[in-house]
Amino acid sequence: MVELSVVLATYNEKENIGVLIDALQEHVKGIDTEIIVVDDNSPDDTAKVAEEANKRHGNVRVIVRKDARGLATALLRGFEESKGTYILTMDSDLAHDPKIVPAMIALLRNKEADFVIGSRYVRGSKVMGKPFIKALASWVAQGIAMLWLGMRVKDASNNFRMFPNALYQRVKDDLHPDGNVMLMEFVHRAAQQGYRIKELPTLYYERSKGATKLRLGKETARFIKNMWRLRFG
């Protein structure tokens, strides 16, 4: 029986996805794991590199979406395909350090938390190479979420998180896959239903290879719209 499903959403991550999968395998030894790569039909052969990783490890599934785009919908597709007791999500650009994955699953196994986030903003965390304007936008977003939604989580927008599949099944009908703000909405919905959320310090590395897909202006507009909906809608 699969214990952990790792969902990786990709678009043009040829240079990173194989490295990430190999690094992950080192930290999930002893855990029955499947890795689900949901690729938005990348023209740079990201899917092919992921399939080659499966030849090395035997636990990678690759889903190529030809008629859909975006992180939020890709994650939801991966969640629906997951067979594991727990689900882990990470960015595919090597931003997240897989070393804390064993600690994350231990908290869930031992019932010490219901939802675990690898956090950039708790004591012991470190952010490497993030441009000031992106860091500022992230800090402001966290502040708005804490103020408007009463959230106590310091890094609700980070896509480095682990939670039970059963938790996703309970909140999925309340999620709106409209941009990266769904990451924050997911945490908000879980908190509303009383799930215990714990943040672990982690290292965050700004991508060094490939181009970012985040469009700050577009995501800011989506964020404001969806925060308004969550707060007042």
- Give the strand pairing for 126-128 and 203-205: parallel
Structure tokens at 125: 């965390």
At residue 20, the pLDDT reads 97
Per-residue pLDDT band for 72 (boundaries 50, 70, 90) equals very high
CB-based burial label for 48 (10 Å; 0-12, 13-18, 19+): middle
pLDDT digits (tens, 9 = 90+) for 207-223: 656 555 555 556 666 66
At residue 178, the pLDDT reads 80
pLDDT digits (tens, 9 = 90+) for 80-124: 999 999 999 999 999 999 999 999 999 999 999 999 999 999 999
CB-based burial label for 88 (10 Å; 0-12, 13-18, 19+): buried
Mean pLDDT across the chain: 88
Tell me the domains of the chain and their CATH numbers.
Answer: 4-232 (3.90.550.10)
pLDDT at 146 over 80: no
Cα(159)–Cα(186) distance, integer angstroms: 11
Q: Which parts of the chain fold into alpha helices (H)?
A: 14-27, 46-57, 71-81, 101-109, 132-149, 165-171, 182-192, 216-232
Per-residue pLDDT band for 138 (boundaries 50, 70, 90) equals low
Per-residue pLDDT band for 9 (boundaries 50, 70, 90) equals very high
Under the phi-then-psi rule, with left for phi > 0, alpha for psi from -120 to 50, and beta for the rest, what region is 70? left
Per-residue pLDDT band for 179 (boundaries 50, 70, 90) equals confident
At residue 131, the pLDDT reads 64
Per-residue pLDDT band for 49 (boundaries 50, 70, 90) equals very high
